[in-house]
């Protein structure tokens, strides 16, 4: 992950809370106030999605992150953030809030 992308994520997400990133699974986890809201894979940001938020991402033309497992492709519950969300903190806010809500509902909210 590039330092420029990390700096840009801070610009976009810092107004919402404390942003941290950690290496994981060949990418990086993105945490907002200790809650994992996204992953960076292949220099792209994917945000946490669940049944309640998936339709928003689908309507924006987003796609889930899919990787090749040992036997078949595996679809993660992280979807590519819409391009326009990467343009400003104001544009990112609703997407990050959807991701935070999905992460909190998932029960995997262990703070880091």
On whether the CB atoms of residues 54 and 108 are closer than 8 A, the answer is no
Q: What's the CATH fold of domain 3-106?
A: Yope Regulator; Chain: A, (3.30.1460)
Q: Is the confidence at residue 112, as pLDDT, over 50? A: no
Its pTM stands at 0.89
> CB neighbours (10 Å) of residue 65?
20
Indicate the domain borders of the chain. 3-106
Q: Is the confidence at residue 41, as pLDDT, over 60? A: yes
Q: What is the mean pLDDT of residues 5-26?
A: 90
The SS3 call for residue 42 is coil
Q: pLDDT of 18-40, one tens digit each? A: 999 998 878 899 999 999 999 99
pLDDT interval class at 108 (50, 70, 90): low
The SS3 call for residue 47 is strand
Q: Match 């994992």 to its residue by tokens.
A: 36
């Amino acid at each position: 992950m590039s330092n420029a992308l990390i700096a840009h994520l801070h610009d976009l997400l810092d107004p919402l809370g404390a942003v941290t990133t950690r290496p994981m699974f060949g990418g990086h986890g993105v945490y907002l106030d200790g809650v994992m809201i996204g992953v960076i894979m292949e220099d792209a940001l994917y945000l946490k999605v669940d049944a309640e938020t998936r339709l928003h991402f689908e309507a924006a033309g987003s796609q889930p992150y899919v990787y090749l497992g040992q036997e078949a492709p595996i679809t993660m519950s992280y979807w590519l953030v819409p391009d326009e969300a990467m343009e400003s903190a104001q544009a990112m806010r609703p997407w990050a809030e959807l991701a935070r809500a999905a992460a909190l509902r998932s029960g995997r909210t262990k703070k880091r």
